[in-house]
Amino acid sequence: DAGVIQSPRHEVTEMGQEVTLRCKPISGHNSLFWYRQTMMRGLELLIYFNNNVPIDDSGMPEDRFSAKMPNASFSTLKIQPSEPRDSAVYFCASSRTSGGPRGDQYFGPGTRLLVL
């Protein structure tokens, strides 16, 4: 199994630029989660999808953040415009809601974002 794939692994951009983070969940997993991790705030759930439908986006910090899941094998998290306070590690995770243990989330390696 390939595991959860995220790209890019590192991103350095300037304030005001658009940033797009990508995630490919594990095949057969029907839930997908986006997290943000910082030293100050720890691990925060931004949004999660079940069967490609956003279920809870209450963690999305503001309108500058948007997430999509056009199909079962791909999701994006977009920040437009980016700000220095968005600098963090962004993780994607996937899990099953049926046909297997629930709650076992599999995390990708993360995208380390630095906004200058």
Residues that bind other proteins (CB under 8 A): 4, 31, 33, 42-43, 45, 48, 50, 55-56, 91, 93, 95, 97, 101-110
What single-letter amino acid sits at 110? G
Tokens 């963690």 sit on residue: 59
Residues 18, 24, 28: CA angle, nearest 5 degrees: 150
CB of 96 to other proteins, least distance (A): 9
Residue with Cβ nearer other proteins (81 or 87) = 87
User: 43 - beta bridge partners?
Assistant: 37
Residue with Cβ nearer other proteins (70 or 101) = 101
Say how far apart CA 55 and CA 38 lie, in whole Å: 24
Residue with Cβ nearer other proteins (81 or 109) = 109
CB of 13 to other proteins, least distance (A): 21
CB of 107 to other proteins, least distance (A): 3
CB of 58 to other proteins, least distance (A): 11
**Which among 54, 75, 61 has a CA at the least distance from the CA of 6?**
75
Residue with Cβ nearer other proteins (81 or 105) = 105
Say how far apart CA 62 and CA 30 lie, in whole Å: 26
